[in-house]
Structure 1
Amino acid sequence: MQLQYGFEELGNQFYGFSLGTNSTTSPAGVGSSIPYEVGFIFNKTAPEINLRLASPDKHFYERFGVTRSVDPDGPQADWDSNNFLGLKWHIPGAKGLFINEVGYQTDAAPQQDMTWLRQGVMYNQSHFPDFHGGYADSNYAYYLVGDRQLLQTDSTQPFRGLYINAKADYAPPDRNVYAGDAGLTLYLLGPLDRSYDVVALGYTFDRLSRSFQHVQQANGITATDFSRNYALSYVYRVSRGIYLSNQLSYTVNPIPTPKQAPALTWMSTLSFSY
């Protein structure tokens, strides 16, 4: 049994946005807008508590968490209502966010490949704008994510090797712009002689809300109903806790509205993780 509480981003405890280990950082991580769209705090802390219960062999687990939702009007509104450190208990319009995750996990070891399967449900008590008019009483999402080690490349460091990640997410389309997604990523932990580097090749398909699309079109604005993203990324470990991430991505329909030409994007990120 593990109990955690304090001020934290609950997304660090659930879903598994990093690939393989906690040492890998975005942009090589698993990409989905839906958990944040439904209420995960992004780049700010909030009061939270979560409880993790594991089976005697520690492979099966159940985890439940509660935190404050992000402001339903978006991250910028949340930032404006909070203080610099993100230590406010209450933000106007932001109510409780509940998440439950059930999973199975085995770590990489000699003669044992890493496996991590998890599925979760999120429920947000906050009122979100409804594309049909007015406000919805709540918001929610489902996710299913799995990682599997396909090949070990170093018997002395069994975490090194080739992995595959697959994921799918859903949120109701009457109150969320991104209503569903599915993705597949191949990634290599410890390429060449770099034990803590990561190289990844990923594909994500996003299904956008048709309700949102119809609202935009009624206002004379073009809108898309899907998006596709192809990404190649490399995470370079500069030193312990410091990572330089570089990603080249090609996106069809890069923004929901107005409709835009495909985008080729390069992004570099320096991350500190301790």
Structure 2
Amino acid sequence: MANLLYLVGNRRVRNVLEGCTFVSAATAMLIASTVAQADYKDLVAVKTEGPNDTLPLAAPAPAPTSLDKLKALNHYQEQGTLIKVPGVQDTVLGDYNGFRSSLAEHGFGLVITSLNNFAYDLGSPPSAHPQRYNGQDLTATGLEQVMLTYDLGSSGKDQKQLIGAVVSSLASWEPLGPRTHASISRLAYYQSFNDKQVEMKVGYLSNALEFIGIYTGGSLAGGTQGPSAIIPFQLGLSRLPMASPGLNLTFNGDSGLYDKVGVQRSISPYGAQEEVETDSHGLRWRTKGGDPLVINELGYKREAKPGSKYIWVRGGFIYNTSDYQKYTGNEESDDNHALFLAGDVQVSTPEGGLPFQGWYVGGTTYQAPGDRNLYDKYFEARTYKIGTFKSRPFDMLSLTVNYNDFSDDARRHYGNLGVETEGLTSSITASYMARLYPGVYLSTGLSRTRNPAFTPKMDDAYNLLVGLNLFF
């Protein structure tokens, strides 16, 4: 996720001069199916039981299939996130030699994740110095995470769980950071109540996995949106590879409605790199300038199933009590805030296909005050198809168009300093995600970005995009 953003402006002119950029590359790795978690031949072999499928009383219960056994191990994956990682049945190692089953016998679960992205502007002259935007030179990012969970007991649908994760991240171009060696990305306690009508998670959290849904489709497998993620993290929302102390509460209705509220310590308003330099291992209670942040999300989510199409709509706000430097003078604001609205709706299902396959449409918008944020408006429209061919049931074809507005106040501020700036940046991206093997996802794409950098004025970028996401 290191390629999500560069938290620009706020306090440092050099950040703008040395890389205030529109991170367009990650858009191509936008979308993954929320149910891309099982091998196709196993999925189609699973029989849906109905009222006429009742076994005679004397008949022995059928033995669980290997797929059922693997799915049962998902009980030991991290709970309480809106964004999911592929299940155990969709990992490279699965339950090889029964090692995950052995861990589960002692209450433990293990998830290893590797997210890798590459971008190169096909129209850029070689060896640009200094590099101004993602892909101007061949640009690579990588994030490796090891997560261990411990089950403290279950009752019905309810569960208690301890969660710990360590992450390392690299970036060939510093503004796509932060770069970390080994830091905490999760150290938390989770518990649900009343058959998961209420869920609680407290500890050190990466709230990009808990709110908003920047991974459209609900899964980490397909990578990240990129540009749309800039505003929430500009507002201080915690994300990989960083965590901050906080408390999240989710209230779930029977029909799919939910309300989720979180209170966390803001990531430093000086930016992500400042956060990491201040707190290299991720365990400090306070970091420079980071005050309490509140986020609330109200949404409706319904999974795809026979006779019912997928829908996920959500909206809410972020309110940060931290001080942010204003572009309109030397004073600081007492707070920062943003509104967001997003939705993804399945519009078709192929005849004879699996419930989640078909065409989807979606959109995202963010708004934040321009006197203290470089990026103040974002709009995105997307359409994508899950299951491109019968033989490729989990592959994804997508087309995304987005628009990102630079603050007028910021432009006037830097104009007064003699710095020429752009007013907006926009891009169109076509991508294809292939599930090569359980736990192995390869994304390729092309994007054209108008005004790829805030400053200086530059030609359009034509980025070749490659993402390789691995789950072990």
Q: TM-score under structure 1 normalisation? A: 0.93
> Which structure: greater helix fraction?
2
Is residue 367 of structure 2 the alignment partner of residue 175 of structure 1? no
Which one has the largest radius of gyration? Answer: 2
Q: Percent identity?
A: 29
Q: Is the 8 A contact 1:52 1:63 kept in 2?
A: yes
Cα gap change, 1:147 to 1:262, in 2 (>3 Å): same
User: Which residue of 89, 106, 123 maps to 2:319?
Assistant: 123
Write the deviation string for residues 86-118 of structure 1: whole angstroms up to 9, x where unpaired: 222211211111100011111111111111111
In the TM superposition, what is the alpha-carbon distance from 1:28 to its structure 2 partner? Answer: 5.6
Length, aligned pairs only:
272
SS where residue 415 of structure 2 aligns?
A: helix
1:52-91 to 2 correspondence within 5 Å? 52-57=250-255, 59-84=256-281, 86-91=282-287
Which string of whole-angstrom CA distances, capped at 9 and with x for unpartnered residues, describes residues 184-218 of structure 1?
01111222122332221100011110000011111
Tell me, yes or no, if structure 1 residue 110 matches structure 2 residue 306: yes
8 A contact 1:232–1:247 mirrored in 2: yes
Separation in structure 2 between the aligned mates of residue 240 and residue 96 of structure 1, nearest angstrom: 40
Taking the aligned partners of 1:135 and 1:83, their CA distance within structure 2 comes to: 27
Give the corresponding residue for 2:465. 267
Q: How is 1:247-262 mapped onto 2 (pairs within 5 angstroms)?
A: 247-262=445-460
- Deviation readout 1:52-84 (Å, 9 max, x if unpaired): 112223x11111012221111111111111123
Q: Deviations over 1:240-267 (max 9, x none)?
A: 3332222321111111122221111122
State whether residues 72 and 127 of structure 1, in contact with CA within 8 Å, keep that contact through their aligned partners in structure 2: yes
SS in 1 for 2:229: coil
Aligned partners of 1:61, 1:210: CA distance in 2, in Å?
A: 36
Contiguous gaps of at least 5 residues in structure 1: none
**Distance in 2 of aligned mates of 1:270 and 1:88:** 32
Q: Secondary structure at the match of 2:347?
A: strand
2: distance between equivalents of 1:190 and 1:255?
35
Question: In terms of mean alpha carbon deviation, does 21-30 or 197-206 score higher?
Answer: 21-30
Does the CA-based 8 Å contact 1:23-1:273 persist in structure 2?
no
Contact persistence 2:221–2:469 (CA under 8 A): no
Q: CA separation in 2, counterparts of 1:126 and 1:190? A: 44
**CA spacing shift, 1:263–1:185, aligned 2, 3 Å:** same
Correspondent of 1:11 among 208, 221, 231: 208
Partner of 2:385: 188
Given that residues 16 and 30 in structure 1 are in contact (C-alpha distance below 8 angstroms), is that contact kept between their aligned partners in structure 2? no
- After TM superposition, the structure 1 = structure 2 runs for residues 79-228 of structure 1, keeping only pairs within 5 Å, are 79-84=276-281, 86-133=282-329, 134-153=331-350, 155=352, 157-192=354-389, 193-228=391-426
Question: What is the CA–CA distance in structure 1 between the aligned matches of 2:321 and 2:277, rounded to whole Å?
Answer: 21
Residue identity opposite 1:204 in structure 2: N
- State the distance in 2 between where 1:128 and 1:27 align: 27
Q: Which amino acid aligns with 1:187?
A: Y
The separation in 1 between residues aligned to 2:438 and 2:205, in whole angstroms, is: 22
CA contact (8 A) 1:198 1:234 kept: yes
Task: Compare relative contact order (CA 8 Å, sep 6+) and give the higher one, 1 or 2.
Answer: 2
Q: 1:143 to 1:80 in 2, by over 3 A?
A: same
Change (3 A) 1:229 1:173: same
Superposition pairs for residues 18-33 of structure 1, below 5 Å?
18-27=215-224, 31-33=228-230
The one-letter code sitting in structure 1 at the alignment partner of 2:252 is A
Q: Which range moved further: 106-115 or 30-39?
A: 30-39
The 1:155–1:5 alpha-carbon spacing in structure 2 relative to 1, beyond 3 Å, is farther
Change (3 A) 1:155 1:13: farther
SS in 2 for 1:214: helix
